[in-house]
Chains A and B, each alone.
Chain A
Amino acid sequence: MILREIAHTRSGDKGDTSNISVIAFDPADYELLRREVTGARVKVALGSMVQGDVERYELPQLGALNFVLHRALAGGVTRSLALDMHGKCLGSLLLSLEIEGRRR
Chain B
Amino acid sequence: MTGVKTGGGLAGQDSTRKVRIGCGAGFSGDRIDPAVILAEKGELNYLVFECLAERTIAMAVRSRLKQEDAGYDPLLVERLGAVLPAAVRNDVRIVSNMGAANPVAAARRTAELARHLGLGPLKIAAVTGDDVLPQLRAKDRPLLDAAGTVWQWSGDLISANAYLGAEPIVEALAAGADIVITGRAADPSLFLAPLVHEFGWAWDDWARLGRGTVIGHLLECAGQITGGYFADPGVKDVEGLAKLGFPLAEADSDGGAVLTKVAGTGGEITLATCKEQLLYELHDPARYLTPDVVADFSTVRFEAAGPDKIAVFGGSGSTRPEKLKVSVGYREGFVGEGQISYAGPGAVERGRLALAIVKERLARLDKDILDLRLELIGLDSIDGNAKGAPPPREVRVRVAARMRSHEGAALVGREVEALYTNGPAGGGGATQCTKPVIAVVSTLIDRAEIHPAIHWELVA
Residue in A closest to B386 when the chains form the complex, CB atoms: A93
Residue in B closest to A57 when the chains form the complex, CB atoms: B285
Q: Are A64 and B440 in contact (CB under 8 A)?
A: no
B335 interfacial by beta-carbon distance below 8 Å: yes
Cα distance A25–B237 when bound, in Å? Answer: 13
Which of B70-78, B83-91, B273-281, B444-452 lies on the face that meets chain A?
B273-281
Within B401-445, which residues are at the interface with A (CB < 8 Å)?
401-402, 437-440, 442
A68 CB contacts on chain B under 8 angstroms? 283-284
Q: Are A76 and B440 in contact (CB under 8 A)?
A: yes
Contact code string A9-25 (vs B, CB < 8 Å = 1, else 0): 01011111101010101
Q: Are A81 and B400 in contact (CB under 8 A)?
A: yes
Q: Are B382 and A4 in contact (CB under 8 A)?
A: no
Q: Are B235 and A59 in contact (CB under 8 A)?
A: no
Q: Are A14 and B283 in contact (CB under 8 A)?
A: yes
Q: Which of B272, B285, B299, B382 contacts A23 (CB 8 A)?
A: B272
Cα distance A103–B236 when bound, in Å? Answer: 18
Q: Are A77 and B382 in contact (CB under 8 A)?
A: no
Q: Are A19 and B279 in contact (CB under 8 A)?
A: yes
Residue in B closest to A21 when the chains form the complex, CB atoms: B279
Cα distance A10–B372 when bound, in Å? Answer: 28
Within A53-95, which residues are at the interface with B (CB < 8 Å)?
55, 57, 59, 61-64, 66, 68, 75-79, 81-84, 89, 93
Chain A min CB distance to B315 (Å):
11
Residue in B closest to A65 when the chains form the complex, CB atoms: B279
Chain B min CB distance to A86 (Å):
10
Known: A57-B285, A59-B285, A62-B301. A79 touches B279 (CB 8 A): no
Residue in A closest to B53 when the chains form the complex, CB atoms: A77
**What are 17 A-B contacts with C-beta separation under 8 Å?**
A8-B235, A10-B279, A12-B279, A12-B282, A17-B283, A19-B280, A23-B272, A25-B272, A49-B384, A61-B301, A78-B55, A78-B438, A78-B440, A79-B371, A81-B371, A81-B372, A83-B382
Please name the 10 residue pairs, one residue from A and one from B, whose CB atoms are nearest each other, closest first.
Answer: A12-B281, A21-B279, A47-B385, A81-B373, A10-B276, A81-B400, A78-B440, A78-B439, A12-B280, A79-B439
Q: A residues bordering B, Cβ < 8 Å?
A: 4, 8, 10, 12-17, 19, 21, 23, 25, 46-49, 55, 57, 59, 61-64, 66, 68, 75-79, 81-84, 89, 93
5 new A-B contacts, CB < 8 A, other than A16-B145, A83-B375, are A8-B236, A10-B280, A21-B282, A61-B314, A68-B284
